[in-house]
Structure formats: C-alpha cells, structure tokens
A and B are shown apart, each in its own frame.
Chain A
Amino acid sequence: MTDAVLSAQNLVMRFGGITATNKVTLDLRKGARHALIGPNGAGKTTLINLLTGVLQPTEGAISLDGQDITRLAPYQRVRRGLVRTFQINQLFDTLTPLQTLAMTLSQQQGLGGKWWQALGARRDVTERCEQLLEQFHLSAVMDQQTRVLAYGKRRLLEIAIALACEPRVLLLDEPVAGVPAGEREELLQTVAALPAEVSILLIEHDMDLVFSFATRMTVLVNGTVLVEGEPAEIAKDSRVKAVYLGHGDEINDAIAVAGAGASSTAGPPQGGTAPSGGSAAPALSASADPGAVASVGAHTDA
C-alpha cells in the first residue's frame, strides 16, 4: 500500500518449535486509527515487539516511511518516530512524572548525552512537560515518585511518556487494561484526544473502545491474520464471531481459512474454546449493533 507509514511484510517469529507470528502482513496508513484484536495468545504483543525491535523476526521485513527498519535497534526506531506503550506499565519508579517527562523530552531533543546542563534548564522542555502533565491529568502528582501513584495515574503516565517521544506512529498495547472504572473515563478521553496526525495501532480487548476508536481493524488468531477490514465488516464477520464466541468447528474453519497460504502450525487458538478475554465476547456482539459501529466516524473526527 503506497500511503502506508508503517508496513510489515510476511513477518514470522519462531520461538523454538512454536510459531508465534506466522506470515503477518500489516499496513498502517498515515493518520490511521487501526485496531489489532484477537484472543489472548494470538500474538498481538509479539507483533508489537517485532515492530518496535524488542524482538528480531525470524523472517520478513518491516519498513517505516518506505525505509527498511527490520534490523534497527529499538532506540533507533524511536528516533524515527515509532513509539509504543506497554500492556503492563513500564515506568521509572524512582523518578517523578515530571522528571520522567523532562528526561524523555530532553532525550528526544538530542540533549540526552549532555551532562553539563541541568535537567529542566531548557524552558521549551519544561513548558512541554507542563502541557503533557496537564493533558494527562498528572499536574497534581508531578512531584511524587512514580511508584506511589494510583494505578490509573500510572497508566496515564505510561501513555504520556510515549507522547513525549513525539511519535509519528504510536503502538498502544491495551491502554485501558486493568484501569478501575473511576479512572477509566479520564484515560478514554486522552486516548480519543491523541493528535490526529499520529498514526495509531491499538491493541485492545475492550470492544467498546475498539469500535469507537478504530476506522480499520485487523484480527489476529494464532499468530496469523484472520481478516482485515472496516469495523462494520469485522463486526459482521462470522469467523471473527466464531473466534470470540468460541464455537469449536467454526474456529477451526476460521483458522484453516486464515492459515491458507501460510504454513500455520494450526491447532485451536489458545483459549479458543472458552471465550478468551472474558469481557470481549459480549462486547463484540453488543458492538455489532449498527449504532455502535456508526459512532466510529464521530469519534475519529473528534
């Protein structure tokens, strides 16, 4: 696809005898709101790890803006604007949110190697810090050590750090996972308000969020792309419903279809017979109602 900003071609990742990612091809268009869904163990996080360079693929290629980045180190990809968040918070516990963001912004502006200037000496860095703290509702806790923050605040900081890296492509790995109901709305607002020019790949089990956010979706099952399309198509797709609702025969059919052409290691998907991500199944069926799908456009315009 010509307007793809991030492109993965036939990615394969094997861990010994296990094929975690099997000939996955994925294109993320400029400014995309693209969701990647699939049951637990489908290989979503492995795919993110491959895209960001935490893992090196066994086969296949990854390109960013048409340039091959398959062999680049994670930090080199970040410098080119490919940034991620983590499913499980990965924070700097002894730093404060303010220090964390100031350090991240300094690194981004090429000040990371400077040792004769104090952190915070640059006015533009501290001003951007304040903007981010405000935007992510962290101003009140900016001077507290990260390890003492409430879970919801830690989750917000997780995304704020990624945004401080000035991403052009942002990979969000389950941003609302584990966030208590009281803090959820704050997080959803910030996700919805992410800059429109940033291309986003969202991994999420929460189908309400997925369908309200994404304009394009890819369903991953057993390390293989089952189907890709518009949310409305995905919601209607019987194979996707099968995977989430867990009718054994249909799952196997779905995998067989998905695996055609790719040498799938097959077998039922992990957690396939019972709905994996417990809340996902009912959410998917609820979201399949036309009203929910229709709301997609409204959210992406916002």
Chain B
Amino acid sequence: MTKAQDLLLKSARWKPWEYALWLLALAAPWLLSSHALIINEIAIVALFALSLDLILGYTGIVSLGHAAFFGMGAYSAALFAKLVMPDPLVGLLVALLASAVLGAICSATILRGSDLTRLMVTLGAGLILMELANQFDWLTGGADGLQGVVMGPLLGRFEFDLSGRTAACYSLGVLLLVFVLARHFVNSPFGATLKAIRDNRLRAMAIGIPVSRHLAVVYTAAAALAGAAGALLAQTTGFASLDVFEFHRSADVMLILVIGGAGWLYGGVIGAIVFKLMQDAISSITPEYWTFWIGLFLVLLVLVGRERLIRPWTWWGRA
C-alpha cells in the first residue's frame, strides 16, 4: 500500500476504541437495566442527530425543520402499525420510505439560496407538516395524538415490555446499523464530494460534481434516517402526537450537534448522551427551570469552546 493510499484509508478504518464503545453501548440495556428507557431515548435522539449531521456537518445545509421528517416517520410507523400490520421492522421500513419521499420532494427547496434562506424554508416546511397533521385529525388524531398503537413482537419473539429493554436493544441495533452505513457513506468518494460542496460550491461544480443531484441525494437520505428515528419513537412508546413535529425538536437536535460537534459522526452520539442525561438530571432537580441551565450550558459551551470546556486545566492558562 502506498503512503497516499494509507493516508486516505486511515479515516475509514475502525479504531479499537470504537469497537469498545459500541460493545458497551449494546450491553447497556443489561448493565443499566433500570435505565433502559433513557437508553432508548438517547439512541433515538442520537440517530436523529446523526441524520442532521449528514446535511449540516458534512454538507453545510442548515435546517431548522428536520423535525418534519422525524414526525413523518413517527406518524407513518404508528399509522402502519394501527391500520396495516403491527410488525415493527416492516413498519420501520415503511416509515423510512415515506420520509425519504418527503425528503426528496423537500430537497427541491434547499438547492438554492443562502443559509438564512434555507433556515426559513426548512422551518416553514416543518410548520406546514405540523399543521397538516393537526388538520387531518381523522387520520392522525389531531391535537389528541394517535392513540391505540399496539406493536407486535420484534422479530416475532421479543415483546416490547414496560422495562424498555427490548425497545432499547431495538433502537441501539438500528442506530448501530445506520452508523456503520453512514460511516461508509461519509468516507466514500460521494462523502468527499459533499464536503467539497460544503467548502466551495462553485469549485465543486467546476470539477464536474452534479451539485444539485448530490444535495438532493443526501437530503433524501438524511430525511429517511430522521424518519427512522421518528418511527423508533412511535413504535417504542406506542404513541404519536403533534409533539414529534414541534419546532423544539428541530432546535434540540441542532443543539445536540453543537454540543457533540458537527461533521463528525460521533458528535451526534456524544451530543445526544450529554444532552439527554443533562435534561434528565436537571429536570429531576428543577422541573420548571431546567431549560435555564441547558441555556446557560449552551452559552458557556459556545463562548468558551468545546475543546477548552472539556480541558479544565487550560482554563487559567493564556488563551
């Protein structure tokens, strides 16, 4: 292997700590069995953050409407289970496809314009979807949410129980599968063209990259994965409400990427762990004012910088 090839393949290789991390994650529902519910939530939010990272971190498309696809996935899975069949894996696939179709349609809105334009367009698309879900109450249950979603056992064997262990294993399994695929995706020639588009769209065109097509593909893929995250939530909680489309979901997931770091697949995972644990811990101490502390943390994180914040010994040195 030549030096150039070795350098290029370096980032695609799995490191030992990654194997350890995933083994630990998959063992978590047993090691921390009383916390299976929050593990499930973290896995879902991590998947959602990973999907946003593909477009935000890797491609440079800012979005404040990513919850549109999360919500689409949640309602698709819940409706499929209620109206067609209760198998979770088939439901997951259906939700993934439905969100991908919505993503492909919405991708036409993000091809042009500046970051601000995209923020507004994605925000608008998210609000439209939420209002549609509200209006079609004969189908979605409207403001009351979609109730009576009963899921069948996973793989025909594992029932979703109250302890949440099956749910946590299911969500972690899907997260790992998506993570492995996404890792291939970002380290491929296609992934490199996305970074090129993010860095310099004019030059990306000038080296023969069909920029619009690549943007549409990644936006569709990200929408599908966000839909999968939404589907996991609906399937593991047996419920879908308008909350899945809410603006705070889009904002939270962006916040998670800010915490964990965008343009790095583990950023979404780490951000999700930190955010969810903080939310859980702070809201149990002060249920009314937990957003104050999250806000303070965010301000500190951005002003001080992630690198410095996790290295306290550098706080009193020279900047």
- Chain A residues within an 8 Å CB radius of B206: 52, 54, 74, 78, 83-84, 86, 90
Knowing A120-B8, A127-B2, A143-B7, say if A95 contacts B195 (CB, 8 Å). Answer: yes
Contact between A119 and B192, CB atoms less than 8 A apart: yes
Interface membership of B199, Cβ < 8 A: yes
Distance in angstroms from B173 CB to nearest chain A CB is 20
Contact between B209 and A112, CB atoms less than 8 A apart: yes
Contact between B199 and A107, CB atoms less than 8 A apart: no
Contact with B along A113-148 (1 / 0, CB 8 A): 111111111010011011001000000001100000
Closest B residue by C-beta to A158: B203
User: Considering only CB atoms and an 8 Å cut-off, how many residues of chain A contact the other chain?
Assistant: 48
- Chain B residues within an 8 Å CB radius of A102: 4, 8, 189, 192
Distance in angstroms from B275 CB to nearest chain A CB is 25
How long is the Cα–Cα vector from A130 to B195 in the complex, in angstroms? 21
Interface membership of B306, Cβ < 8 A: no
Contact between B207 and A118, CB atoms less than 8 A apart: no
Tell me which residues from 188 to 211 in chain B have a Cβ below 8 Å from any Cβ of chain A: 188-193, 195-196, 198-200, 202-211
Most buried by A among B198, B203, B210: B203
- Chain B residues within an 8 Å CB radius of A201: none
How long is the Cα–Cα vector from A102 to B2 in the complex, in angstroms? 14
Interface membership of A266, Cβ < 8 A: no
Interface membership of B283, Cβ < 8 A: no
Contact between A111 and B189, CB atoms less than 8 A apart: yes
- Chain A residues within an 8 Å CB radius of B4: 98, 102, 120, 126-127, 129-130, 133, 142
From B12, B185, B189, B200, contact of A106 by CB (8 A): B189
A–B complex contacts, Cβ < 8 Å, 27 sampled: A74-B205, A74-B206, A75-B209, A75-B210, A78-B206, A91-B203, A92-B196, A93-B199, A94-B198, A96-B7, A100-B196, A103-B193, A103-B196, A106-B189, A107-B189, A107-B208, A108-B208, A111-B189, A112-B190, A114-B189, A114-B190, A115-B190, A118-B8, A119-B187, A119-B192, A129-B4, A130-B3
Instruction: Please give the residue numbers on chain A whose beta carbons come within 8 Å of chain B beta carbons, in ascending order.
Output: 52, 54, 73-75, 78-79, 83-84, 86, 90-96, 98-100, 102-104, 106-108, 111-121, 123, 126-127, 129-130, 133, 142-143, 161, 164-165
Other A-B pairs, 13, CB within 8 Å; known A78-B206, A161-B207: A86-B203, A92-B199, A92-B204, A94-B195, A94-B198, A95-B199, A102-B8, A111-B189, A113-B189, A113-B190, A115-B191, A117-B188, A118-B12
